[in-house]
């Protein structure tokens, strides 16, 4: 099983950031919108920029887009970087019950902080392998990261289930012969894994 991390297993709480955006008089969500634009986000996800370099890029984008003072813009950018996160207990419990012989590979567009984050959530031992874009230098939906993940799983692509919250990432996986699941809620995952877990 090849599984995404963010918005499948890990979820961020944007409430503190939204409060700061309201206080700054800018539209809620604008910080994330600018931060996750490919030109700003991709260097971070490919391991070519540190989190603080990304914060600086987000700060510059906010100054240019919404004319915030640099200090206020940096406050918002840092609030996004520091957004609290949690693991979905139901999803984690399901993944921990995968049958023996069904390896779990996390395939995630992540930062160089991924290992620390997994440790903080108590998930350092969750997966058999972790394929991180920041460590591999390639991000979904590029085929190369899927090839790496399949190799780590040790099985053919057509024997892999790929789970992701982004449709384009799922479509890239199915184009390689995998079974794809576009994740939106825990029930989606349970519908596929439930029978395996029950008998595994």
pLDDT tens column, 175-195? 999 999 999 999 999 998 887
Whether residue 25 has pLDDT greater than 90: yes
pLDDT tens column, 67-122? 999 999 999 999 999 999 999 999 999 999 999 889 999 999 999 999 999 999 99
pLDDT tens column, 30-56? 999 999 999 999 999 999 999 999 999
DSSP readout, 80-148? HHT--EEE-HHHHHHHHTPPTT---EEEE---TTHHHHHHHTT-TTS-SEEEEHHHHT--TTSHHHHHH
- To the question of pTM greater than 0.85 for the whole model, the response is yes
pLDDT at 200: 47
Whether residue 199 has pLDDT greater than 80: no
> Can you tell me the distance from the alpha carbon of 50 to that of 28, in angstroms, rounded to the nearest whole number?
25
Reported confidence tier of residue 169, pLDDT bands at 50, 70, 90: very high
pLDDT at 198: 58
pLDDT at 176: 98
pLDDT tens column, 108-161? 999 999 999 999 999 999 999 999 999 999 999 999 999 999 999 999 999 999
pLDDT at 154: 96
pLDDT at 196: 77
> Can you tell me the distance from the alpha carbon of 155 to that of 103, in angstroms, rounded to the nearest whole number?
9
pLDDT at 182: 98
């Amino acid at each position: 099983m090849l599984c995404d991390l963010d918005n499948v297993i890990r979820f961020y709480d944007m409430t503190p950031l939204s409060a700061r955006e309201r206080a700054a008089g800018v539209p809620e969500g604008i910080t994330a919108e600018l931060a996750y634009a490919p030109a700003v986000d991709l260097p971070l996800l490919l391991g070519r920029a540190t989190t603080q370099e990304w914060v600086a890029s987000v700060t510059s984008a906010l100054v240019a887009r919404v004319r915030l003072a640099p200090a206020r813009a940096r406050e918002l950018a840092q609030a996004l970087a520091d957004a609290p996160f949690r693991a979905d207990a139901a999803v984690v419990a399901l993944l921990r019950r995968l049958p023996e012989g069904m390896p779990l590979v996390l395939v995630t567009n992540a930062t160089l902080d991924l290992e620390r984050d997994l440790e903080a959530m108590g998930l350092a031992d969750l997966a058999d392998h972790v394929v991180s874009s920041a460590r591999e230098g390639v991000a979904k939906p590029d085929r190369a990261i899927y090839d790496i993940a399949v190799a780590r799983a040790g099985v053919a692509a057509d024997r892999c289930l790929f789970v992701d919250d982004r449709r384009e990432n799922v479509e890239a996986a199915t184009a390689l012969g995998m079974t794809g699941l576009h994740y939106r809620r825990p029930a989606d995952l349970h519908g596929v894994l439930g029978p395996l877990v029950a008998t595994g």
